[in-house]
Structure 1
Amino acid sequence: MDHSLHFLAPSTARPTATEPARARFLGRRDLPALMELEREKWNDDQAASQDDLCARIDAHPDLAVGAFCTRSGRLLASLFMRPVADDFYRHVQTWDDCVRAPLPATSSTLFGISLSSRNGDGVEALLKFFWPIALKRGWRHIYLGSPVPGLRDWREAHPDGAVDEYVHATRRGLPLDPQLRYYRSRGFTKVVCAKPDYFPHERSLDYGAILRGTVPLSALAPLWAALPEPYVRRVTRALSSLL
C-alpha cells in the first residue's frame, strides 16, 4: 500500500549549483536512482517504496518522468501523474482517494501524485519536457493536493476563521499561505477547495488544498492533435520563454 505523501512539494534543501538537465520517461532501470532520491528527500513515513514506484511506472509509463544531469547522469527530479475524472475533486476526501480513484473512460485531467526534486533545474526540465506531450495528448488540467503550512498559526490568530477563508486569502495579489504562493508561481493558480483530514500534516491541521493548473495553450487541442509531436515540441520550445 502506497503511503507516500508527495504533494508536488518543493525541496526544503538549500539551493544547489546549476546542473544541466535533460528529461525523459522513467522505467524500471531507474529504480535505484529513484529510491536514492526518495530516501534523500522524504522520511520513512513519507517515502515511496520500490514496489510503489514500480506500480506507478507500470500503470502509467507515459506519465512517469525524470530529469537527469547531462554531466553526471544523476537523477535531479521525478514526477508521477495519473488520469482522473474531470470532476474527481467532488468525490474524494483524502490524498489516498485521489491516488486510487477509478480511472475514467475519457478525461482531460491529471492528478499529480508526486514531485521529488534536488534542484530547480530538474523541475524546469520536467515541465518543459512534458508540456508538448500534454498538448499532443489532450491533457488540459493538472490538479494537486497541497499542504497549507501557515494554517495553524493563522487559526491561532483567528480562532473563528474558516479554513476556506484562509486558503483563498491573498496579500498584494498573492496567496497568503507560503506553499500556495509557491504553487501559484508554478502555474497552479486556482484554489478549488480545502479538504479536512486530507493527509497528516501538523502545521496544516491535516487540511489539504486542491489546486488546479491549466496546461498553456491546451484550449487549441484539435490543432495539437493534428500536428506531429516533433512539430509540437518545436513550437513549445520556441514559445517557452514567452509564457
Structure 2
Amino acid sequence: MSITDPVRLSGSSAGGEVASMECAQVRFLSVTDVESLVTLEESTWDEDQAASAGELAARIQAYPQLGIGAFTADGVALASLFMKPITVEELRAAATWSDCAEVRTPAPARTRSLFGISLSSIDADAVTAIFEFFWPYALKGGWRDIYLGSPMPGLRGWMKANPEGSPDSYMREKRHGLPRDPQLRYYHGKGFREILECKPGYFPHPASLDHGAVIRGRIPLAAGAPLWRLVPLSWLHLMRSTLFRLV
C-alpha cells in the first residue's frame, strides 16, 4: 500500500487528495450530514474500513464539538475530522486503534488531550481549512494536543530489504530530516511531529504488517491557555488566518 491508498484509523487519504475544489463552508458536524459523510467515507476507504452511518452518527452525538466537516456550496463533503477526549493512561493501555476510537460517554474528566478518530478527505486544502477552523475552539477549550494512530505503509517493503531491522526502528528512521515512512511524513507536515510508540496488531493493515505508530501534534500556542480563555472567541477567529499559518 502506498500513501495514495487510504486507511481508516486516525488516518487520512493523504495522497488520495485531489486538486483543490472550492470549499464553501467549514463547520461542526450534525447528524443531518451523515448521508454526505457516508459518501465521503466510501470514496476514500475500503469497504471494511469505511465508517457506517450509525458509527458516524454516534461520534457526532457523543462529541458534538469535536467533529468538523468541510463542504462545497452544494453540500458535498470534502473532508471530515472526528476527535474524542482521551487520557494518556487510556492511550497507553489501548492495544488497538478500536480501543482508542471507541465512543464512550461520559468523556474522561481532567484531560487536555484529544484522539483523532479519523481524518478523511478528497481535497488537500479542505484538510488545512478544518485544522484552521478548529484552532480557536481548541484554544478556548484548553485542549493541548492531539494523538493519532497512523499506519506505516512503507514498513512491509522496508522489512523485506532489511530483515534484521524492526518496525520500531523503521518508524523512527528519517530521510532528509523527515520520517522515512510516507504516511508519517504526511502527518509531520500537518504538525504531528512527535513519534511516540510502535504498536503491533494495532489494526488490520498488510502494508504496515498490522503495526501502528502513535504520534502526537501539539496545538499551536496552547501553552497560553489561561490567556486564551479570556480572549473573546471572535478575536481568535480574526487572528487565526495569520497566527495559525505562522506556528
Q: Same fold judged by TM-score > 0.5?
A: yes
Shift of 1:201: 0.5
Q: Which runs of 5+ in 1 are unaligned?
A: none
Shift of 1:53: 0.7
1:57 to 2:60 alignment: yes
Match of 1:212 among 216, 224, 227: 216
1:133 to 2:163 alignment: no
> Which shifted more, 202-211 or 222-231?
222-231
> Which shifted more, 197-206 or 120-129?
120-129
Residue in 1 that maps onto 2:51: 48
Residue in 1 that maps onto 2:113: 109
Distance in 1 (CA, whole Å) between partners of 2:189 and 2:46 is 26
TM-score (norm 1): 0.93
Aligned length: 239
2:10 maps to amino acid: F
Q: Is the 8 A contact 2:146 2:216 kept in 1?
A: yes
Distance in 2 (CA, whole Å) between partners of 1:164 and 1:113 is 22
1:35 to 2:38 alignment: yes
Distance in 1 (CA, whole Å) between partners of 2:51 and 2:103 is 18
SS of residue paired to 1:62: coil
1:34 maps to amino acid: L
Distance in 1 (CA, whole Å) between partners of 2:113 and 2:96 is 18
Distance in 2 (CA, whole Å) between partners of 1:14 and 1:55 is 26
- Cα displacement string for residues 127-156 of structure 1 (whole angstroms, at most 9, x for unaligned residues): 110011101101101000000111111111
Q: Is the 8 A contact 2:112 2:144 kept in 1?
A: yes
Residue in 2 that maps onto 1:24: 27
> Which shifted more, 104-113 or 7-16?
7-16
Residue in 2 that maps onto 1:226: 230
Distance in 2 (CA, whole Å) between partners of 1:14 and 1:242 is 24
Q: Which runs of 5+ in 2 are unaligned?
A: 1-6
Q: Name the CA shift for 1:90/1:153 in 2 (closer, same or farther; >3 Å).
A: same
Q: Is the 8 A contact 1:80 1:115 kept in 2?
A: yes
- Cα displacement string for residues 158-213 of structure 1 (whole angstroms, at most 9, x for unaligned residues): 11212211101111111111111111000000000000000001010000000000
2:75 maps to amino acid: G
1:97 maps to amino acid: D
1:187 to 2:187 alignment: no
TM-score (norm 2): 0.91
Equivalent residues in 2 for 1:125-204, closer than 5 Å: 125-204=129-208
Distance in 2 (CA, whole Å) between partners of 1:81 and 1:14 is 21
Match of 1:76 among 58, 64, 78: 78
SS of residue paired to 1:82: strand
1:50 maps to amino acid: A
Q: Is the 8 A contact 2:11 2:151 kept in 1?
A: no
SS of residue paired to 2:217: strand
SS of residue paired to 2:46: coil
SS of residue paired to 1:221: helix
Q: Is the 8 A contact 1:21 1:76 kept in 2?
A: no
User: Stretches of 4+ moved more than 6 A in 1?
Assistant: none
